[in-house]
Amino acid sequence: MTTNLIEVKNLVKSFKDGNKETHVLKNIDFIAREGEWISIMGRSGAGKSTLMYQMSLLDDATSGEIFLFGRDTHNMTADEKTKLRLNELGYVFQDYALLPDLTALENVAVPLMMQGKYKKEAYAEAKLSLERVGLGHRISGLPSQLSGGEQQRTSIARALAHKPKVLFADEPTANLDNESSRTIMQLFKEVHEQGQTIIMVTHEEMYSRLAERIIQLDDGKIISDEKIKRVK
Amino acid sequence: MPQFIRLGFFLALRQVRRASPWTTSLIIFVMTLTFLNLVVVSGILVGLIEGAVEANKEFYTSDIIISTLEKKNYIEQSPSILNIIRSMPEVAAVSARYLGSGQIEASYKTAAKEEDIDSAGASLVGIDPIAEDNLTGVSRFVIDGEYLSPNDYDQILIGAYLLTEYFPVESASFPTLDNVSVGEKVRITIGDVKREMTVKGIVKSKVDEISYRIYFVDSQFRDLIGRNDYNVGEISIRLKNGANPNIIKEALLRAGVGEHARVQTFEDAQPKFLQDIKDTFALLGNMISSIGLVVASITIFIVIFINAITRRKFIGILKGVGISGRTIEVSYVFQSFFYALSGSSIGLLILYGFLEPFISAHPINFPFSDGILVAPVSGTVIKILILIFTTVIAGYIPARMIVRKNTLDSILGRN
């Protein structure tokens, strides 16, 4: 029996602009189970990224409940959420979100150091993670010296280095050329095959179908939740 | 060491190392100026008075000064006292001075009436020219003419403040003589004795006691004042390096000198108002420095704030990947600490490697003193600690402001 890693109940997210209130997410109910690869799709403004931000605790919901690994996140302090992100979640940003002052190795090592590992140990693990994404030869490059694909692979290495329970990826191929995109998706496939739970926002049909479950959002609501059947 | 401090240090180090060298240099330059402002302004103000105190000591009192008891015109048993002094191994030089007061007159040959004679009251001093010069180096203050020789007779050195040419102040309290220069004849009146003398030299110093006096060779001065007992009015003593004036003073008192004279170290002889002025100037200097400190704090606040604002996205990313706010704050604290420490270190080098020795060798020419820079190490260390503390606070506050913002807003650059 698979465990529920994420449970979203009646989730609402609204933004206020003066007197005008925009409801971006409207009463979303959603469950992500261990080992799943879920693609969240929808047109621009449908609320895909917003849903991901709430689930990954980068943002606070207006109302509703989010349970991560059975824990209610509603009353968690900012520090508790940060700690949860550090230890249990991995995040791949659309624009890579690497720290420009740090080399690829340091970017990957920083969260490991925050976990309490000493520099030497963190560097060794970060190097392994970079080798896993095929960047073993670029560890001392600064982000500005890496190509877009290399930066995104560094971002994936950082997200995976601490072995998160869930890997969130927000449009991971949006800024990449076709070849780099294929490489990234191949990486996702490999880590998923090793048991990694992935929740990925994408607007690219081709890549969304690599997942085993596709959730369609429109106007802040889930309009479909489809399981992909594969012939083995 | 707690994890947030280790990682904060790591992040700060990387950020400083890979920051623009120009920006880093500019911040450190501001910190250096602040440090110098903090130390030098008050140091110069205190040094202005300290210079006067030092000059008074070097050129007049020396380490110990022995003077007459109240209501006495001279120091009784002076020869014995001088023998005691000269027998002390810590004593490097001694000068005994005969003191008196009298009248100096010029134009007495040309004046039609007695009341037209140009005259001024003056302190008269009889010295052994060699001993006095050895002790105070008074000959270096001769600005015109020559210094006295032991065999000079009917020749005097006259203080510049007694001459209108050098001290053009019209005051009934301080009358001065017109048209008196080197080689001119003047008439000295001491009690009932009048004697015509030649001005051999003019002395001028920022120590008033030198510039207001008229110097004679002691042997002639004794004759003029009729003193055959060799009792002098003042004895200045310079000690060898390392000798403690207080200990020598105590030794002199134990030897009975106190029964015939007042024994004072240069600090005892220092007028109280000088110490009061010194304290006032130190307070003034600290007030001015405090303004500099506030300016520096605001500068660092702005610098760190702009730095944190421009790096807000990266602060958001750090939080996004699980780095605690405290770690990020600590990284900015370390950066501020680095700027303050670097600025202070460069400031220290400038201060003790250049400014202090330079000003000591070339004192600032103030009207009433040769100003030096007073920057004791203990005081400087305290000021460095104040600067670092203020800077660290000024760096911490903006970092905390940015770190407290919503993580996603920081990453996306939303307000």
- pLDDT tens per residue across span B130-173: 999 999 999 999 999 999 999 999 999 999 989 888 877 776 66
**pLDDT score of A45:** 86
Each as own residue / partner, the long-range contacts of residues B360-367 (CB below 8 Å, 24 or more positions apart, any chain) are B363/B51, B364/B44, B364/B47, B364/B48, B364/B51, B366/B48, B366/B51, B367/B206
- How far, in Å, CA of A146 to CA of A158, rounded? 15
Indicate the domain borders of chain A: 4-99+148-227
Nearest CA in chain A to B3: A116
Q: Which residues contact A33 (CB under 8 A, 6 or more apart)?
A: A2, A3, A4, A5, A197
The answer on B216 and B159 residing in a single domain is yes
The answer on B295 and B208 residing in a single domain is no
Please check whether residue B78 is in contact with residue B230, taking contact to mean a CB–CB distance below 8 angstroms.
Answer: yes
Name every chain B residue with its beta carbon within 8 A of the beta carbon of A78.
325, 407
**B322 and A82 in contact by Cβ < 8 A?**
yes
Domain encompassing residue B382: 3-57+273-412
> How much of chain A exceeds pLDDT 90, in percent?
64
Name every chain B residue with its beta carbon within 8 A of the beta carbon of A101.
14-15, 17-19
**pLDDT score of B172:** 67
Residue type, B406: N
The answer on B210 and B120 residing in a single domain is yes
Domain boundary among B265, B286, B307: B265
- Is A121 exposed, middle or buried, given 0-12, 13-18 or 19+ CB atoms closer than 10 A? middle
Six token digits for residue B387 = 């600067």
Q: What is the pLDDT of residues A169-183, one digit of tens each?
A: 998 888 888 888 888
Name every chain B residue with its beta carbon within 8 A of the beta carbon of A159.
321
**B323 and A110 in contact by Cβ < 8 A?**
yes
The answer on B160 and B14 residing in a single domain is no
Q: How far apart are the CA of B314 and the nearest CA of chain A, in angstroms?
A: 6
| Residues constituting chain B | 415
* Count of other CB atoms within 10 angstroms of residue B353: 10
> What are the b/e assignments for A28-37, b being 16+ CB within 10 Å?
bebebebebb
The answer on B192 and B69 residing in a single domain is yes
Which parts of chain B sit beneath pLDDT 50? none
**pLDDT score of A164:** 93
Name every chain B residue with its beta carbon within 8 A of the beta carbon of A111.
321-323
From the list B121, B406, B264, B18, the residue with the least C-alpha distance to A100 is B18
The answer on B229 and B207 residing in a single domain is yes
Has domain A4-99+148-227 been given CATH number 3.40.50.300? Answer: yes
Q: At what angle do helices B325-350 and A78-88 cross, to 10 degrees?
A: 100
Query: Looking at the 3D structure of chain B, how many domains does it have?
Result: 2
Nearest CA in chain B to A122: B7
The answer on B159 and B88 residing in a single domain is yes
Please check whether residue A135 is in contact with residue A154, taking contact to mean a CB–CB distance below 8 angstroms.
Answer: yes
**pLDDT score of B298:** 82
> What are the b/e assignments for A131-163, b being 16+ CB within 10 Å?
ebbebeebbebbbeebeebbbbbbbbbbbbbbe
Domain boundary among B265, B297, B327: B265
The answer on B51 and B70 residing in a single domain is no
Q: Which residues contact A61 (CB under 8 A, 6 or more apart)?
A: A11, A12, A13, A25, A54
Question: What ipTM was reported for this prediction?
Answer: 0.90
Name every chain A residue with its beta carbon within 8 A of the beta carbon of B325.
78-79, 82
The answer on B112 and B157 residing in a single domain is yes
The answer on B313 and B259 residing in a single domain is no
**pLDDT score of A232:** 52
**pLDDT score of B267:** 87
**B324 and A83 in contact by Cβ < 8 A?**
yes
The answer on B101 and B219 residing in a single domain is yes
From the list B123, B313, B400, the residue with the least C-alpha distance to B234 is B123
Residue A132 per-residue DSSP state: H
Which parts of chain A sit beneath pLDDT 70? 1-2, 230-232
**A158 and B6 in contact by Cβ < 8 A?**
no
**pLDDT score of B139:** 92
**pLDDT score of B341:** 93
The answer on B176 and B104 residing in a single domain is yes
Domain boundary among B224, B239, B265: B265
